[in-house]
């Protein structure tokens, strides 16, 4: 039997419950993974809070799309994006269905070798934010020599955007709360506080102009400042301004009406992320770790936005 988190209804963290369910042996092309850590993301909240619909037929609903763990069993003919998969391998699973669990069965196509450079907790928080960051940078056409503005630069996606852009030779100005500015400097970005006067502050920091912008926040301020500073709207990508973004001819990515899901580019990005981790260019910051049984508390922390890193569940 596996212990797993399900949403028993649509609502707040109080609808999350731990249940025991049988987990089958892996079929052909599948892998049974003992989960050592599962990453949480704001998207998980949108699913059970009803932000993406309230179909009662989907309840109880499994949650979580990324995990790190150890292979316990494999089906026939097994090979994943990073090669052969064997019992005992340390792996990252993305996209996983129902990753908030102590054991999951996943298709081999979602199972990649865990880089030794990351703990299980760090590895569990690598892929969703990292693949989103690669997609956003590609959409905004960011290249060496560019000056890039990142909104929400200290968040999960934002800090990945910063590190990958810096590694590619871009100069990055990133918005964050003042208490996170030292973190941003350590990642190689020039920090700037969001809020009134942001446009003028960024102009001062980037007197030669801003070539591209990535918005991970979705506020009017983030959208308006990006439009004021970046001449070519094709070089502004947002992963959060779904309502406003579409009408402004900027790139709206990932979810929501008219958004580009970028499935192929995000799947391919997984290997690039592993390479960046191994070369020391990309790190994952874990903010808080909770036992699976305390998932509701973990989600309160996630919603509070003050974890200062990924919120991770461990069985």
Ligand X SMILES: NC(=O)c1ccc[n+]([C@@H]2O[C@H](COP(=O)([O-])OP(=O)(O)OC[C@H]3O[C@@H](n4cnc5c(N)ncnc54)[C@H](OP(=O)(O)O)[C@@H]3O)[C@@H](O)[C@H]2O)c1
Answer yes or no: are the C-beta atoms of 189 and 173 closer than 8 Å: yes
Is 233 strand, coil or helix?
Answer: helix
Nearer to ligand X, 105 or 225 (CB): 225
Angle at the Cα of 163 from the Cα atoms of 188 and 244, rounded to 5 degrees: 110
Q: Any contact of residue 39 with ligand X (CB under 6 A)? A: no
How many angstroms separate the CA atoms of 307 and 42, rounded?
12
Q: Any contact of residue 255 with ligand X (CB under 6 A)? A: yes
| Out of 151, 235, 251, 288, the residue judged to bind ligand X by CB under 6 A | 151
How many angstroms separate the CA atoms of 33 and 74, rounded?
9
Q: Any contact of residue 95 with ligand X (CB under 6 A)? A: no
Helix (H) / strand (E) containing 305:
none
| Out of 61, 91, 253, 292, the residue judged to bind ligand X by CB under 6 A | 253
How many angstroms separate the CA atoms of 13 and 184, rounded?
30
Residue range at the interface with ligand X (CB under 6 A); choices 27-35, 60-68, 105-113, 155-163: 155-163
| Out of 95, 180, 235, 288, the residue judged to bind ligand X by CB under 6 A | 180
The closest alpha carbon to 111, from 206, 209, 205, 34, belongs to 34
Q: Any contact of residue 138 with ligand X (CB under 6 A)? A: no
Q: Any contact of residue 192 with ligand X (CB under 6 A)? A: no
Is 235 strand, coil or helix?
Answer: helix
Residues near 79 by beta carbon (within 8 Å), at least 6 away in sequence? 85, 108
Per the document, the length of the chain is: 315
Q: Where are the beta strands (DSSP E) in 163-272?
A: 171-175, 190-192, 212-215, 236-238, 251-252
Nearer to ligand X, 65 or 147 (CB): 65
Q: Any contact of residue 191 with ligand X (CB under 6 A)? A: no
Within 223-252, the residues that bind ligand X by CB under 6 A are 239-240
| Out of 13, 42, 69, 98, the residue judged to bind ligand X by CB under 6 A | 42
Q: Any contact of residue 277 with ligand X (CB under 6 A)? A: no
| Out of 80, 115, 156, 245, the residue judged to bind ligand X by CB under 6 A | 156
Residue range at the interface with ligand X (CB under 6 A); choices 13-21, 96-104, 108-116, 153-161: 153-161
Answer yes or no: are the C-beta atoms of 64 and 101 closer than 8 Å: yes
Q: Any contact of residue 163 with ligand X (CB under 6 A)? A: no
| Out of 177, 265, 268, 296, the residue judged to bind ligand X by CB under 6 A | 177
- In the structure encoding, which two tokens stand for residue 238, read together? 């947002």
Place of tokens 């949650």: 63
Q: Any contact of residue 189 with ligand X (CB under 6 A)? A: no
Q: Any contact of residue 313 with ligand X (CB under 6 A)? A: no
Q: Any contact of residue 292 with ligand X (CB under 6 A)? A: no
- In the structure encoding, which two tokens stand for residue 177, read together? 């709360």
Q: Any contact of residue 139 with ligand X (CB under 6 A)? A: no
> Would you tell me which residues interact with ligand X (CB under 6 A)?
41-43, 129, 132, 151-152, 154-158, 175-177, 180, 194, 216-217, 219, 239-240, 253-255, 305
């Amino acid at each position: 039997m596996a212990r797993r988190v399900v949403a028993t209804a649509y609502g707040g963290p109080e609808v999350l419950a731990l249940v025991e369910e049988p987990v089958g042996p892996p079929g052909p092309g599948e892998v049974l993974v003992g989960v050592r850590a599962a990453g949480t993301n704001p998207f998980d909240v949108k699913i059970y809070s009803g932000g993406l619909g309230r179909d009662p037929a989907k309840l109880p609903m499994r949650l979580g799309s990324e995990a790190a763990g150890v292979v316990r069993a494999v089906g026939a003919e097994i090979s994943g994006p990073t090669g052969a998969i064997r019992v005992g391998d340390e792996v990252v699973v993305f996209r996983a269905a129902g990753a908030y669990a102590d054991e999951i069965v996943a298709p081999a196509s979602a199972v990649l070798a865990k880089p030794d450079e990351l703990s299980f907790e760090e590895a569990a928080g690598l892929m969703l934010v990292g693949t989103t960051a690669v997609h956003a940078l590609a959409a905004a056409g960011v290249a060496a020599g560019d000056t890039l503005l990142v909104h929400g630069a200290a968040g999960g996606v934002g800090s990945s955007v910063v590190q990958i852009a810096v590694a590619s030779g871009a100069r990055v100005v990133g918005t964050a709360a003042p208490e996170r500015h030292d973190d941003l400097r350590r990642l190689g970005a020039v920090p700037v506080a969001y809020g009134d006067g942001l446009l003028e502050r960024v102009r001062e920091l980037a007197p030669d102009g801003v070539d591209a912008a990535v918005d991970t926040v979705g506020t009017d301020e983030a959208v308006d400042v990006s439009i004021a500073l970046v001449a070519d709207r094709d070089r502004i990508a947002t992963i959060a301004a779904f309502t406003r973004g579409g009408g402004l001819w900027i790139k709206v990515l990932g979810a929501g009406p008219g958004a580009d899901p970028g499935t192929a580019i995000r799947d391919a990005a997984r290997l690039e992320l592993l390479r960046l981790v191994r070369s020391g260019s990309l790190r994952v910051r874990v903010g808080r770790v909770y036992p699976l049984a305390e998932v509701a508390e973990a989600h309160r922390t996630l919603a509070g936005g003050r974890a200062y890193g990924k919120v991770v569940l461990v069985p």
